[in-house]
Amino acid sequence: MAKPFSEMPTSECLLSNALKLTSLDFHRKVYAMAETYGGIFKIKAPGKTVVVVTDPALLAQLTAQEFTGVSKPADLYETFAILCSTTTPPTYPLLALGNENDGQARWRTIRDGFAPAFAANAVPQYVPILAEEAGKVLRQVGAQTLDIFELVGRISLSATGHIMFGYDAFKCTDLDQPCDFLRDIITARKGAVGAARSLLVKLQQQFCPFAHDVQDYNDSLKGVRKKYEEIYAEMEGAAAAAPVAAAAAAAAAAGGPPTILQAFQSTRDYKYPDCPGSKMSKEDTVALIGNLVVAGTLPAATAAVYTLCLIATSPEVQAKVHAELDASGLSSSSSSSSSISPREFAASDVGHLPYLEKVIKEAMRVNSAVPQVNRATAADIELGGYAVPKGTLLFLSMGGMHASPHNFLEPHRFYPERWALQQAGDAAAGNGAGAATWTGNSGDLAGSYAPFSSGIRACLGQHWARLAIMGTVASVLGRFKLASPRSMTVESLAAGETFSVSVYPRAPLLLTFTPRAAAG
């Protein structure tokens, strides 16, 4: 019989908890609290009670496809919707959210329309575009110190424009020119997350429009939304000039998967099952564009950024990655030419770079790009032996699972070699080593690792994200040796994180680039 909800381990300090939940690094504070209270616990704050789950077995239960006890209320994703929409209040992006405000049938229709273009057999077709755009950016880099977040952001945005919308939507490969959209989305994200976490910031945005921070936020949000409108207009023109849906049909007839662009054009013409005769509105279409940009660019770019930063903190790891790239012909030092441009990364390289794959997996564990997803109980459920009432807010902390010593030895250490140790016990601190509230301590790394979540609402673009991260990291390290001019460490990277949509740094992450052809 389930124990009463009141008996669940609880952090009771209302004021302290309120400050933690509104802090920039609240996800990291949740990790620490889990080590005190266990793999499932409550956080009490003024006006709300949140249940945090970091235990592997319970996270698997909550994300299982057949589990219907949780929902994804739209108000939990207001920040994401603000960044994706051009309307106030925001239009909720159908690709990301299936919730009671939107209708499951609509969400499923949109997601099913895109799924073939993001499938494992479809995403290799996008790799040449990523490699080309990465080359355009990296050929301009010499021996210099750069903000790695801006550099990778330019590569990711440029590839996104060509892959998802069929043209150079963001015009950001020229390093001598500002990347307006990247600047705007970073500033808008900062303002949106501030309003979501602080009533004071929200009131300032509403009633003090001339405050400097508010003006920056509003101007940046206008810039972001203007770009979505421009892409919409371009897509409308492309649809009128060429029957993209026919191209998608031809690709399917030839046995090939559709592209994201083809899926986008075709999906807009779907009829909503719960509203016969209707098509996607302009507002919904623009929100879908925003959804593809924000969800399709920021998390993967963030993962690549933190992977490169962690590699820069470890000369031993970097040397091993360079050696593997050399052996694969993916580095300038392995080229017979004096040019610093190595062979471009290809989809066929996946599977032949085993050490780099371990490095990326470890980086995504140490600095989870999307450390948490939010849910609410759709009914009274039993979770971890406790009766949890309907309407309870849930924080599903994959980052907390990744950072727990109950699942990984020395969890705060960047140690790619751990992924070669698959025997039970190598990953975990030991079965039963955790508090009594831990129900599923895992001795298997894979069982305690979910960077893209799992289940029916797992990241739709995870196959492409994996390729994009590896392609970006390989393209940079094939050309350059990286170092940190500010003695960057694993700890300083964690301390500098904030979280909205994905993790991002509060200050520029500066890395020194030395061309490998010059470094010898």
309 labelled binding-site residue: no
pLDDT tens profile 264-297: 877 776 655 555 555 677 888 888 899 899 988 9
> What is the pLDDT at residue 141?
96
Inter-residue contact 512 to 483 (CB < 8 Å): yes
The mean pLDDT of 498-513, rounded to a whole number, is 90
In order of 164, 225, 284, the CA distances from 232 in angstroms are: 12, 11, 11
Other Cβ atoms within 10 Å of 15 Cβ, number: 9
* Burial class (CB within 10 angstroms; exposed 0-12, middle 13-18, buried 19+) of 218: middle
In the prediction, which pLDDT does 153 show? 97
Q: How confident is the model at residue 339 (pLDDT cuts 50, 70, 90)?
A: very low
Is residue 434 pLDDT above 60, yes or no?
no
Q: For residues 87 and 229, what is the distance between their CA atoms, to the nearest angstrom? A: 11
Model confidence at 333, pLDDT cuts 50, 70, 90, reads low
Q: Would you state the structure tokens that stand for residue 139, as one six-digit string? A: 């050929």
Determine which helix (DSSP H) or strand (DSSP E) holds 512, and give its type and residue range.
Answer: strand 510-515
Based on the number of CB atoms within 10 Å of its own CB, is 372 exposed (0-12), middle (13-18) or buried (19 or more)?
buried
Length of the chain: 520
Q: Cβ contacts of residue 315 below 8 Å, gap of 6+?
A: none
How far apart are the two ends of the chain, measured CA to CA in Å?
67
Query: Strand order in 40-45's β-sheet?
Result: 10-11, 40-45, 48-53, 393-396, 373-377, 70-71
Question: Residue 291: CA atoms inside 13 Å, Cβ hemisphere, count?
Answer: 26
For residue 466, pLDDT beyond 90: yes
Q: What is the pLDDT of residue 357?
A: 96
Residue with tokens 């020194």: 512
Reading the block at residue 339, the tokens are 């040019």
Burial class (CB in 10 A: 0-12, 13-18, 19+), 347: middle
Q: What is the dihedral of CA 92, 395, 8, 20, to 10 degrees?
A: -110
Amino acid, res. 51: V
Q: In whole angstroms, what is the distance from residue 91 CA to residue 286 CA?
A: 9
pLDDT attached to residue 322? 97
Task: Choose the weakest-confidence range: 149-158, 159-168, 272-281.
Answer: 272-281
**Helix H segments across 254-397?**
260-267, 282-313, 315-327, 354-366
pLDDT-based confidence at residue 433 (cuts at 50, 70, 90): very low
- Looking at the predicted structure, is the pLDDT value of residue 242 above 70? no
Residue 505 DSSP SS3: strand
- Domains by residue range for the chain, with CATH: 5-84+371-448 (no CATH), 115-367+455-519 (1.10.630.10)
Q: Is the pLDDT of residue 218 over 60?
A: yes
